[in-house]
Structure formats: structure tokens, C-alpha cells
């Protein structure tokens, strides 16, 4: 006769074994499904690149200069607290900046007038990130004269420049609900900035010029190492899981910014990625050296993208920046040097010419 409780112990052991087996199968199934999902949304080549970057020796962040002894600490601009906003125009404006494609992209709820990118793909965190191309100084400095157009511009004109250039689309009607909301949001962000002032942390960091031309070939190698896992081998970006907008925007190709956009200037793109890219970088903890930022910018902006008729830009060609990539120019330097550098000699010649005019006057 079997001992009392013997079958119960054997049954318990069997149940434990079955439970462990089921957990193992469930775990294997979970990771298999996750792998399939990652391949579907990221692509096999991007996953390989990300794994390669993960396994590579970490690159220490570029050093950040410490404040000089006795110098006051910099107090960077901070956006107002959005959670307290009750103004419908401001809240809708922020929604349009963060999710532009949902309302105004190729399948937009309101209109189909842009390329599918969101405003915050360039103006990070809905235009609030320090040195993330934020909007902190817009309300305080507009309207203002801009040499690119040769006229005084309103905030509405500046917004439409982004729609027609960075979003490679069409202008919004200045009296539309969407334009009024975007302007209301931008003005709200600058509520505490005194008129005429540009707060610390506004716009982009300023990089010094290289003493050589930026190198697209070096930039391609760096792009493959540091950017491809998010933006793709062909620079086409990646859509979000719903397929409604870009989680990682296209850096070139038909859905990217056109040749009239601000980021098509090398200094603007290099400054942008220096403080914000790759993912996780900040102005205090950059992951790219200055040279790397310039070379990646040279590679990205050497790729094909939509064109823009800019014949009316810079009516006074002597006001063109050193890195404006299209002629004619008033300084005798080649279009190639204006596109890739070195830019130092161009700026030096412009300063000397300006000084000479002052002395002659």
C-alpha cells in the first residue's frame, strides 16, 4: 500500500516541472514576437547597425568647458509650465507643433500641405528644448528685418517659411485657425522674455569653423556608425508604430527638408546635431566632436532632396552667410567653398571689406 501523501508529492513535482516548461515556452514566444516586430518596424540592416554600435567601445562625450573661476553660472531659458494652460489656442498650437503630420501632413485631418514631418522634428520637444532650435526668442524679437527676404518679417511669415522649406509644403493662410494657434503657442512660450532680448539657450549652439573643408566621405562613415540605426541607410527615417508620423525624420530624399531650409546650411545642421544627436545627447553632454558634427552635416546635405526656388532670397547678395551654398556671391570665393568650407577665410574677407568701408566712409 502506498505511503500517505506520496502521490501528492509526486503530483506537486510534476506540476512544478510543467509550470517551468510553460514559463520557458512563454518567454521564448515573447522574445520571438518582439524580434519579429523589431525587424518589421526597424529593418534588419538598422538592427544590425544598432547592435554593432552597442557592442563597440563607447566613445566618451566631448568635454564641456567649465565656467571660468568666479564667473556666474549660466541660467538657461526654461519654457513655462504647460500643464497650467487653459487657453484653447495655445493648447491647439502646441498640438500642431508636436503632431503636424496628423493635421497638415499628406493624410492630414485639416489639410494635406506638408511632407509628413512634424515641426518638432526640428524644433525639439515642441520648441522648448535648450539649444534644440527652440522658440524662446521668437516673440521677443519679431517682427524683425531678415536679410534672406530683404524685408521685415512677422511671426506668421516665419512660420510659413518653415512650412514651405523645412516641411517642403504650402503656406498656411495667416488668418486660419491653425496659424493663429501656432502663433499663440509661440507667443506663450516667450511670455517671460523681455522684448528685444534673446535668452541663454535660445536657438542652436554656435560651433567654430573648421580650418579645413567639411568632408562628406568622413561624414558617411560617421553617419553609418552613429545615425543609421534611427534614420536608416538611405536617410528615409522611420515611421511610428501607427504609421501616422515620423518617429525618426527623413534626413534626405523626397520627404525631407528642401534646399531652401535653414538646416541646409552646414553650420545650422552641424550646430543642431552637436547638441542633440545621436539620441540622448544634450548641449551639456554632447556625443559628437565639432569635427564629427561638421562632417556628418556635409554628408547629409550632400544627398538628394527636394529643390526650392530661392532666386528671390538674399536680394543683397553681400549679406549671404559664409555657408550659404548657392551663388551668386560678392566675395570671389567658389560655390564649393561656400558649401563645404573652409569658411574662415570667407568670413575674414567679409569682415575686412566691412572695416574698409567704414574707414573709407
Measured from the Cβ of residue 19, the count of other Cβ atoms closer than 10 Å reads: 10
In the block, residue with C-alpha cell 544598432: 50
Is the model more confident about 352 or about 60? 352
Which among 256, 262, 233 is positioned nearest to 305, based on CA atoms? Answer: 256
Dihedral in degrees, nearest 10, Cα atoms 256, 261, 262, 264: 60
Domains 82-189 and 216-360 share a fold: yes
Cell representation of residue 161: 517659411
- pLDDT at residue 34 greater than cutoff 80: no
C-alpha triplet 52, 54, 58: angle, nearest 5°: 110
Give the CATH fold of the 216-360 domain. Cytochrome Bc1 Complex; Chain D, domain 2 (1.10.760)
The distance of Cα 208 from the centroid of its chain, to the nearest Å, equals 20
**DSSP for residue 229:** H
List, as one string, the DSSP characters of 52-98: HHHHSPPPPPPP-PPPPTTPPPP----PPPGGG---HHHHHHHHHHH
Quote the pLDDT of residue 215.
98
Look at residues 344, 350, 286, 300 and name the one whose alpha carbon lies nearest to residue 59: 286
Listed range (8-22, 73-87, 129-143, 146-160) with the worst mean pLDDT: 8-22
Q: Taking 80 as the threshold, does the pLDDT of residue 68 lie above it? A: no
Reported confidence tier of residue 26, pLDDT bands at 50, 70, 90? low
The CATH fold of domain 82-189: Cytochrome Bc1 Complex; Chain D, domain 2 (1.10.760)
| pLDDT over threshold 60, residue 89 | yes
Phi and psi at residue 180, to the nearest 5°: -60, -40
User: Among 14-18, 88-92, 221-225, whose mean pLDDT is lowest?
Assistant: 14-18
81 — pLDDT class (breaks 50, 70, 90): very high
Domain boundaries, the chain: 82-189, 216-360
Q: Is the peptide bond before 180 cis (omega within 30 degrees of 0)?
A: no
Which of these ranges, 20-29, 36-45, 310-319, 324-333, has the smallest mean pLDDT?
36-45
How confident is the prediction for the chain on average, in pLDDT?
A: 87
Q: Where is pLDDT greater, at 302 or 24?
A: 302
Amino acid at each position: 500500500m502506498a505511503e500517505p501523501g506520496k502521490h501528492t508529492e509526486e503530483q506537486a513535482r510534476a506540476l512544478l516541472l510543467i509550470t517551468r516548461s510553460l514559463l520557458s515556452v512563454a518567454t521564448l514566444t515573447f522574445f520571438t514576437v518582439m524580434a519579429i516586430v523589431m525587424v518589421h518596424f526597424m529593418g534588419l540592416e538598422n538592427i544590425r547597425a544598432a547592435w554593432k554600435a552597442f557592442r563597440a567601445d563607447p566613445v566618451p562625450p566631448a568635454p564641456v568647458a567649465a565656467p571660468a573661476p568666479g564667473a556666474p553660472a549660466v541660467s538657461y531659458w526654461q519654457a513655462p509650465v504647460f500643464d497650467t494652460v487653459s487657453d484653447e489656442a495655445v493648447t491647439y498650437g502646441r498640438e500642431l507643433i508636436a503632431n503636424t503630420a496628423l493635421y497638415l501632413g499628406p493624410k492630414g485631418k485639416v489639410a494635406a500641405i506638408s511632407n509628413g514631418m512634424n515641426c518638432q522634428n526640428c524644433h525639439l520637444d515642441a520648441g522648448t528644448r535648450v539649444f534644440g532650435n527652440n522658440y524662446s526668442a521668437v516673440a521677443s524679437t519679431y517682427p524683425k528685418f531678415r536679410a534672406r527676404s530683404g524685408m521685415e518679417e512677422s511671426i506668421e511669415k516665419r512660420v510659413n517659411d518653415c512650412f514651405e522649406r523645412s516641411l517642403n509644403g504650402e503656406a498656411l493662410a495667416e488668418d486660419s485657425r491653425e496659424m493663429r494657434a501656432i502663433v499663440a503657442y509661440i507667443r506663450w512660450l516667450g511670455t517671460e522674455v523681455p522684448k528685444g532680448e534673446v535668452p541663454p539657450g535660445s536657438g542652436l549652439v554656435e560651433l567654430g569653423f573648421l580650418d579645413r573643408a567639411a568632408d562628406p566621405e568622413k561624414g558617411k562613415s560617421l553617419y553609418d556608425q552613429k545615425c543609421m540605426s534611427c534614420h536608416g541607410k538611405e536617410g528615409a527615417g522611420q515611421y511610428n508604430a501607427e504609421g501616422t508620423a515620423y518617429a525618426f525624420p527623413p534626413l534626405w530624399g523626397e520627404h525631407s527638408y528642401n534646399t531652401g531650409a535653414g538646416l541646409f546650411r552646414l553650420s545650422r545642421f552641424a550646430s543642431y546635431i552637436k547638441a542633440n544627436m545621436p539620441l540622448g545627447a544634450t548641449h551639456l553632454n554632447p556625443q559628437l566632436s565639432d569635427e564629427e558634427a561638421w562632417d556628418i552635416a556635409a554628408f547629409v546635405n550632400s544627398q538628394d532632396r527636394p529643390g526650392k526656388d530661392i532666386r528671390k532670397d538674399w536680394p543683397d547678395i553681400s549679406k549671404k552667410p559664409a555657408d550659404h551654398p548657392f551663388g551668386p556671391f560678392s566675395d570671389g570665393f567658389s560655390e564649393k567653398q561656400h558649401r563645404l568650407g573652409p569658411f574662415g577665410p570667407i568670413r575674414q574677407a567679409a569682415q575686412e571689406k566691412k572695416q574698409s568701408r567704414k574707414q573709407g566712409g
